[in-house]
Structure 1
């Protein structure tokens, strides 16, 4: 399978995050390494609009067959459009058919080659239309509330939050680490359908870096593993 790593240059929450040094290595390098070491990944392609990201990605072994156009690199661009554009252009320029892709966001540095291979195994065994990595929610989602401007509570759900914690069914949230997607699903404008399945990952490898605090937590996790 082809792995696509989306890495645009602009980042509001943490400027330059995709190539920011994490334990001495650019953040994106961890995802490139994981993809290159995954047994079921045949190509690793980085989609970027940024020349510096492209150069670093090449140095770590990824392909940059073309640069991402500006209209897919602004704040309003949708990720799904980036993937469809990349597939279409690869098919046209290489005269090939691409029926599925693996999307690996560079902001998940603790995701490993083993995680990728296990998720692909799930995809193949289930004959899935998509497989997306998820992480168990720490607290019951029914405890969540809207808060009004003057600080009052507004209910999101029913009164299920009044049950004991052990009586509430566990919920999960996507951790952003792995997306395995059939082209037909992407072309429909979705990531999920009735043929979609979850690949569950532990919380301690599910950090998705968006802020400096996320970055420091990932750095701490890596340092802790090395001890």
Structure 2
């Protein structure tokens, strides 16, 4: 059986509650998903780009971009409660059975990270190999210290909102925190199928990305920010 060392899987179902038709929404002149397909296609390491979708429009866009969209995602994997892990497992098994190829490593690239570049992807893959990792997940520095955040009670009281030792400390003097940015996930396929989770039990490492490239589009404000950055980049 032939082997594929790195395959990118892009999950992109139709519809979105917070931002309607998000994955095909026009971003700087192109459907949102095209930016991720292009970044994957331009990677030096990715051999195959596979799009998992239940949308015929997204399938057409993918094929136009020379990405593979060989199946329409089953309805049970296209609901709000279907997990990305389930979608990935289905895509892996479909691909290996259809093409008689064995995947060694999978790269999850969500279409909601349009500013993530092929350079980011290649750096993450190089890091994955250098670390001898089973998994690598991209992170960005938090915009605001989580030590200054908390839940609010019903009466909206701030009496116990912050720990006393952080109340009079400047933000720049607090520890640096990082968040998952959703841009790049890399796993050894065998380990991923065995554990079926993002954070593998052993040898999962954080790959640091700058905040701009790690923007994740979840709502209209995120979309406007990404669009503004892209226009700025185009003008410079």
TM-score by length of structure 2 reads 0.90
Cα contact 2:19–2:219 (8 A) shared by 1: yes
Contact 1:146 1:154 in 2 (8 A): no
Partner of 2:151, secondary structure, is: strand
Alignment partner of 1:170 is 2:182? no
> 1:121 Cα shift?
0.4
- Preserved contact between residue 145 and residue 153 of structure 1 (Cα < 8 Å): no
Q: Do structure 1's residue 198 and structure 2's residue 203 form an aligned pair?
A: no
Q: Does 1:180 align with 2:186?
A: yes
Report how far residue 225 of structure 1 moved. 1.1
**1:2-41 superposed matches below 5 A:** 2-41=7-46
Residue aligned with 2:13, SS: coil
Deviations 1:155-210 (A, max 9, x none): 68865534733443211001111010122134313211331111111111221111
Q: What is the deviation of 1:151?
A: 1.2
Task: State the TM-score, normalizing by the size of structure 1.
Answer: 0.93
Looking at structure 1, the residues matched to 181 and 11 of structure 2 have their Cα atoms a distance apart, in angstroms, of 16
Q: Is the 8 A contact 1:146 1:155 kept in 2?
A: no
C-alpha distance in structure 1 between counterparts of 2:159 and 2:78, whole Å = 36
Number of aligned positions between the proteins: 227
1:137 to 135, 142, 146: 142
Checking the alignment, whether the CA contact within 8 Å between 2:152 and 2:161 is kept in structure 1 is no
Distance 2:159 2:42 in 1: 47
The answer to whether 1:149 aligns with 2:123 is: no
* Structure 1 gap segments, 5+ residues each: none
Cα drift, residue 90 of structure 1: 1.5
- 5+ unaligned residues in a row in structure 2: which ranges? 1-5
Tell which deviates more after alignment, 170-179 or 147-156: 147-156
Which stretch of the first structure deviates more once superposed, 60-69 or 30-39? 60-69
- Between the aligned partners of 1:221 and 1:40, the Cα distance in structure 2 is 27
Find the counterpart in structure 1 of residue 218 from structure 2: 210
* Aligned counterparts of 1:104 and 1:219: Cα–Cα separation in 2: 19
